Amino acid sequence: MPQSFSITDIGLRREMNQDYIYASDAPLGSLSCLYLVADGMGGHRAGDLASKLTVETVVNQVVSTVGIEPEELLREAFEMANSGIIQTAARHREYYGMGTTLVGCTICGDQLLIANVGDSRLYNYKDGFRQITVDHSLVEEMVRAGTLDRKYARIHPERNVITRAIGAEEGVQVDFFRLPLSECGLILMCTDGLTSMIDDDEIESVLAQQGSLEEKAKALVARANEAGGKDNISVILIDTSRDKDGTGRTH
Protein backbone atom coordinates (compact mmCIF):
# COMPACT_ATOMS: atom_id res chain seq x y z
CA MET A 1 0.00 0.00 0.00
CA PRO A 2 1.38 3.46 -0.88
CA GLN A 3 1.78 6.06 1.84
CA SER A 4 0.72 9.67 1.44
CA PHE A 5 0.40 12.99 3.22
CA SER A 6 -1.91 15.77 2.07
CA ILE A 7 -2.26 19.40 3.12
CA THR A 8 -4.18 22.45 1.92
CA ASP A 9 -3.57 26.03 3.04
CA ILE A 10 -5.48 29.25 2.36
CA GLY A 11 -2.28 31.19 1.69
CA LEU A 12 -1.75 34.82 2.69
CA ARG A 13 -3.92 36.78 0.24
CA ARG A 14 -7.20 34.91 -0.24
CA GLU A 15 -10.32 35.17 1.90
CA MET A 16 -11.29 31.54 1.36
CA ASN A 17 -9.75 28.29 0.24
CA GLN A 18 -11.08 27.21 -3.15
CA ASP A 19 -8.83 24.14 -3.33
CA TYR A 20 -10.18 20.72 -2.37
CA ILE A 21 -8.13 17.54 -2.02
CA TYR A 22 -8.74 13.86 -1.35
CA ALA A 23 -6.33 11.05 -0.52
CA SER A 24 -7.00 7.37 0.11
CA ASP A 25 -4.02 5.03 0.43
CA ALA A 26 -6.47 2.16 0.95
CA PRO A 27 -8.63 0.60 -1.79
CA LEU A 28 -11.67 2.61 -2.86
CA GLY A 29 -14.31 0.76 -4.83
CA SER A 30 -12.45 -1.18 -7.51
CA LEU A 31 -9.40 1.11 -7.35
CA SER A 32 -6.35 0.25 -5.25
CA CYS A 33 -6.07 3.87 -4.02
CA LEU A 34 -7.16 7.34 -5.13
CA TYR A 35 -5.70 10.85 -4.94
CA LEU A 36 -7.42 14.01 -6.21
CA VAL A 37 -6.47 17.71 -6.28
CA ALA A 38 -8.92 20.39 -7.45
CA ASP A 39 -8.50 24.16 -7.71
CA GLY A 40 -11.85 25.91 -8.00
CA MET A 41 -12.62 29.09 -9.88
CA GLY A 42 -15.58 31.45 -9.97
CA GLY A 43 -17.16 34.20 -7.92
CA HIS A 44 -17.74 34.27 -4.19
CA ARG A 45 -18.18 30.69 -2.91
CA ALA A 46 -18.54 29.35 -6.47
CA GLY A 47 -14.93 28.16 -6.72
CA ASP A 48 -14.85 26.34 -3.41
CA LEU A 49 -18.20 24.71 -4.17
CA ALA A 50 -17.04 23.64 -7.63
CA SER A 51 -13.90 21.93 -6.32
CA LYS A 52 -15.73 20.26 -3.43
CA LEU A 53 -18.62 18.99 -5.59
CA THR A 54 -16.23 17.73 -8.24
CA VAL A 55 -14.08 15.72 -5.85
CA GLU A 56 -17.11 14.33 -4.03
CA THR A 57 -18.73 13.31 -7.35
CA VAL A 58 -15.59 11.46 -8.48
CA VAL A 59 -15.22 9.68 -5.15
CA ASN A 60 -18.89 8.66 -5.08
CA GLN A 61 -18.71 7.40 -8.66
CA VAL A 62 -15.62 5.32 -7.90
CA VAL A 63 -17.22 3.81 -4.82
CA SER A 64 -20.46 2.92 -6.59
CA THR A 65 -19.10 1.54 -9.88
CA VAL A 66 -17.83 -1.99 -10.45
CA GLY A 67 -16.73 -4.03 -13.46
CA ILE A 68 -15.06 -1.23 -15.41
CA GLU A 69 -11.42 -0.58 -16.23
CA PRO A 70 -9.74 2.15 -14.11
CA GLU A 71 -9.12 4.55 -17.00
CA GLU A 72 -12.71 4.35 -18.20
CA LEU A 73 -13.95 4.64 -14.62
CA LEU A 74 -11.99 7.85 -14.05
CA ARG A 75 -13.06 9.23 -17.43
CA GLU A 76 -16.72 8.64 -16.62
CA ALA A 77 -16.30 10.08 -13.11
CA PHE A 78 -14.63 13.24 -14.47
CA GLU A 79 -17.40 13.58 -17.09
CA MET A 80 -20.09 13.14 -14.45
CA ALA A 81 -18.46 15.81 -12.30
CA ASN A 82 -18.32 18.11 -15.32
CA SER A 83 -22.04 17.67 -16.01
CA GLY A 84 -22.85 18.21 -12.34
CA ILE A 85 -20.99 21.53 -12.22
CA ILE A 86 -22.67 22.75 -15.41
CA GLN A 87 -26.10 21.82 -14.06
CA THR A 88 -25.45 23.47 -10.69
CA ALA A 89 -24.32 26.69 -12.38
CA ALA A 90 -27.41 26.64 -14.60
CA ARG A 91 -29.73 26.35 -11.58
CA HIS A 92 -28.07 29.09 -9.52
CA ARG A 93 -27.23 32.45 -11.10
CA GLU A 94 -24.67 33.23 -8.39
CA TYR A 95 -22.62 30.24 -9.50
CA TYR A 96 -22.35 31.29 -13.14
CA GLY A 97 -18.84 30.68 -14.43
CA MET A 98 -17.94 28.15 -11.73
CA GLY A 99 -15.40 25.49 -12.59
CA THR A 100 -12.33 23.71 -11.33
CA THR A 101 -9.14 22.02 -12.33
CA LEU A 102 -8.86 18.33 -11.43
CA VAL A 103 -5.88 16.01 -11.39
CA GLY A 104 -6.13 12.49 -10.04
CA CYS A 105 -4.14 9.29 -9.89
CA THR A 106 -4.36 5.66 -8.83
CA ILE A 107 -2.10 2.62 -8.98
CA CYS A 108 -3.01 -0.05 -11.53
CA GLY A 109 -0.81 -3.10 -11.24
CA ASP A 110 2.71 -1.95 -11.97
CA GLN A 111 1.69 1.48 -13.30
CA LEU A 112 0.54 4.84 -11.99
CA LEU A 113 -2.54 6.00 -13.90
CA ILE A 114 -2.99 9.79 -14.03
CA ALA A 115 -6.01 11.80 -15.21
CA ASN A 116 -5.89 15.56 -15.70
CA VAL A 117 -8.02 18.57 -16.65
CA GLY A 118 -6.64 22.08 -16.11
CA ASP A 119 -3.33 23.32 -14.69
CA SER A 120 -3.01 21.58 -11.35
CA ARG A 121 -0.05 19.26 -11.68
CA LEU A 122 1.46 15.86 -10.96
CA TYR A 123 5.24 15.47 -10.76
CA ASN A 124 7.51 12.58 -9.95
CA TYR A 125 10.82 12.74 -8.11
CA LYS A 126 13.26 9.92 -8.74
CA ASP A 127 16.62 10.41 -10.43
CA GLY A 128 15.46 13.96 -11.07
CA PHE A 129 12.25 15.97 -10.84
CA ARG A 130 9.82 16.17 -13.73
CA GLN A 131 6.29 17.24 -14.49
CA ILE A 132 4.16 14.40 -15.86
CA THR A 133 0.89 16.24 -16.59
CA VAL A 134 0.63 18.92 -19.27
CA ASP A 135 -1.06 22.17 -18.27
CA HIS A 136 -4.22 23.16 -20.09
CA SER A 137 -3.32 26.84 -20.02
CA LEU A 138 -2.70 29.76 -22.34
CA VAL A 139 0.97 30.06 -21.36
CA GLU A 140 1.55 26.33 -21.94
CA GLU A 141 0.13 26.73 -25.45
CA MET A 142 2.46 29.69 -25.98
CA VAL A 143 5.46 27.68 -24.76
CA ARG A 144 4.61 24.76 -27.04
CA ALA A 145 4.14 27.14 -29.97
CA GLY A 146 7.59 28.56 -29.33
CA THR A 147 6.38 32.09 -28.57
CA LEU A 148 7.22 32.04 -24.84
CA ASP A 149 10.29 30.74 -23.04
CA ARG A 150 9.27 28.24 -20.36
CA LYS A 151 11.32 30.02 -17.69
CA TYR A 152 9.06 33.07 -18.06
CA ALA A 153 5.78 31.12 -18.04
CA ARG A 154 5.59 31.09 -14.23
CA ILE A 155 5.55 34.90 -14.06
CA HIS A 156 3.60 35.66 -17.24
CA PRO A 157 0.63 38.02 -16.55
CA GLU A 158 -1.80 35.58 -18.19
CA ARG A 159 -0.45 32.48 -16.41
CA ASN A 160 -3.81 31.96 -14.66
CA VAL A 161 -5.78 31.65 -17.91
CA ILE A 162 -6.70 27.97 -18.27
CA THR A 163 -8.00 26.50 -21.51
CA ARG A 164 -9.75 23.42 -20.14
CA ALA A 165 -11.64 22.93 -16.86
CA ILE A 166 -14.31 20.85 -15.18
CA GLY A 167 -17.53 22.81 -15.69
CA ALA A 168 -16.33 24.96 -18.60
CA GLU A 169 -18.28 23.19 -21.35
CA GLU A 170 -20.15 20.00 -22.14
CA GLY A 171 -18.03 17.00 -23.02
CA VAL A 172 -14.85 17.65 -21.08
CA GLN A 173 -11.69 16.13 -22.56
CA VAL A 174 -9.57 14.27 -19.99
CA ASP A 175 -5.86 13.66 -20.55
CA PHE A 176 -4.42 10.34 -19.30
CA PHE A 177 -0.83 9.42 -18.56
CA ARG A 178 0.73 6.17 -17.39
CA LEU A 179 4.01 5.93 -15.51
CA PRO A 180 5.70 2.65 -14.53
CA LEU A 181 5.81 2.33 -10.74
CA SER A 182 9.49 1.53 -11.05
CA GLU A 183 9.98 5.10 -12.33
CA CYS A 184 7.65 6.88 -9.90
CA GLY A 185 9.58 7.25 -6.66
CA LEU A 186 7.94 10.17 -4.86
CA ILE A 187 4.81 11.68 -6.44
CA LEU A 188 3.84 15.33 -5.93
CA MET A 189 0.34 16.57 -6.78
CA CYS A 190 -0.32 20.28 -6.31
CA THR A 191 -2.29 23.36 -7.28
CA ASP A 192 -0.69 26.39 -8.90
CA GLY A 193 -0.63 28.12 -5.54
CA LEU A 194 2.59 26.18 -5.06
CA THR A 195 4.10 26.28 -8.55
CA SER A 196 3.36 29.97 -9.14
CA MET A 197 5.24 30.88 -5.97
CA ILE A 198 8.33 28.65 -6.10
CA ASP A 199 10.09 27.13 -9.09
CA ASP A 200 10.83 23.51 -9.85
CA ASP A 201 14.41 23.71 -8.57
CA GLU A 202 13.25 24.89 -5.16
CA ILE A 203 10.54 22.22 -5.01
CA GLU A 204 13.12 19.57 -5.89
CA SER A 205 15.47 20.85 -3.18
CA VAL A 206 12.73 20.32 -0.56
CA LEU A 207 11.91 16.83 -1.81
CA ALA A 208 15.61 15.92 -1.76
CA GLN A 209 15.92 16.70 1.95
CA GLN A 210 15.75 14.08 4.67
CA GLY A 211 12.41 13.94 6.45
CA SER A 212 8.92 12.52 6.42
CA LEU A 213 6.24 13.15 3.81
CA GLU A 214 4.53 15.43 6.31
CA GLU A 215 7.67 17.46 6.91
CA LYS A 216 8.31 17.88 3.19
CA ALA A 217 4.71 18.80 2.36
CA LYS A 218 4.57 21.39 5.14
CA ALA A 219 7.93 22.77 4.03
CA LEU A 220 6.59 23.26 0.50
CA VAL A 221 3.57 25.16 1.81
CA ALA A 222 5.80 27.27 4.04
CA ARG A 223 8.09 28.13 1.12
CA ALA A 224 5.11 29.18 -1.02
CA ASN A 225 3.83 31.43 1.76
CA GLU A 226 7.29 32.89 2.33
CA ALA A 227 7.37 33.77 -1.37
CA GLY A 228 4.10 35.69 -1.05
CA GLY A 229 1.33 33.11 -0.65
CA LYS A 230 -0.79 34.80 -3.31
CA ASP A 231 -3.10 31.81 -3.80
CA ASN A 232 -4.39 28.75 -1.96
CA ILE A 233 -1.74 26.05 -1.72
CA SER A 234 -2.49 22.32 -1.86
CA VAL A 235 -0.01 19.46 -1.83
CA ILE A 236 -0.29 15.66 -1.83
CA LEU A 237 2.93 13.65 -1.54
CA ILE A 238 2.76 9.92 -2.30
CA ASP A 239 5.53 7.45 -1.58
CA THR A 240 4.91 4.78 -4.22
CA SER A 241 7.82 2.65 -2.99
CA ARG A 242 5.52 1.52 -0.16
CA ASP A 243 3.37 -0.28 -2.75
CA LYS A 244 5.37 -3.48 -2.52
CA ASP A 245 5.03 -6.84 -0.87
CA GLY A 246 7.70 -8.45 1.30
CA THR A 247 9.65 -9.59 -1.74
CA GLY A 248 9.90 -6.10 -3.16
CA ARG A 249 7.51 -6.85 -6.02
CA THR A 250 4.80 -4.34 -6.76
CA HIS A 251 1.24 -5.52 -6.25
Distances (CA, A) of 50 to 32, 38, 45, 56: 26, 9, 9, 10
Q: Which of 166, 191, 173, 174 is nearest to 89 (CA)?
A: 166
Contact 238, 21 (CB under 8 A): no
Q: Which of 2-11, 102-111, 128-137 has the lowest mean pLDDT?
A: 128-137
Q: Which of 23, 26, 25 is nearest to 38 (CA)?
A: 23
Q: What is the pTM of this model?
A: 0.93
CA distance 251 to 237: 20
Query: Does the pLDDT at position 194 exceed 90?
Result: yes
**Mean pLDDT for the chain?**
92
Domain boundaries, the chain: 3-242
Q: Which of 59, 33, 190 is nearest to 125 (CA)?
A: 190
User: What's the pLDDT at 235?
Assistant: 98
User: What's the pLDDT at 250?
Assistant: 35
pLDDT digits (tens, 9 = 90+) for 137-188: 888 788 778 888 777 776 777 777 889 999 999 999 999 999 999 999 999 9
What confidence category does residue 42 fall into, taking pLDDT thresholds of 50, 70 and 90? confident
* Higher-scoring residue by pLDDT: 45, 224: 224
Dihedral sign of CA atoms 159, 162, 166, 167 in order: positive
* Yes or no: domain 3-242 corresponds to CATH 2.60.40.10: no
**SS3 per residue for the chain:** CCEEEEEEECCCCCCCCCEEEEEECCCECCECCEEEEEEEECCCCHHHHHHHHHHHHHHHHHHHCCCCCHHHHHHHHHHHHHHHHHHHHHHCHHHCCCEECEEEEEEECCEEEEEEECCCEEEEECCCEEECCCCCEHHHHHHHHCCCCHHHHCCCCCCCCECCCECCCCCCCCEEEEEEHHHHEEEEEECHHHHCCCCHHHHHHHHCCCCCHHHHHHHHHHHHHHCCCCCCEEEEEEEHHHCECCCCCEC
Distance of CA 51 to the CA centre of its chain: 11
* Higher-scoring residue by pLDDT: 162, 125: 125
User: What's the pLDDT at 14?
Assistant: 93
Distances (CA, A) of 5 to 24, 31, 74, 140, 187: 10, 19, 22, 29, 11
Query: Does the pLDDT at position 233 exceed 60?
Result: yes
- 96-125 mean pLDDT: 97
Give φ, ψ of 90 to 5 degrees.
Answer: -70, -30
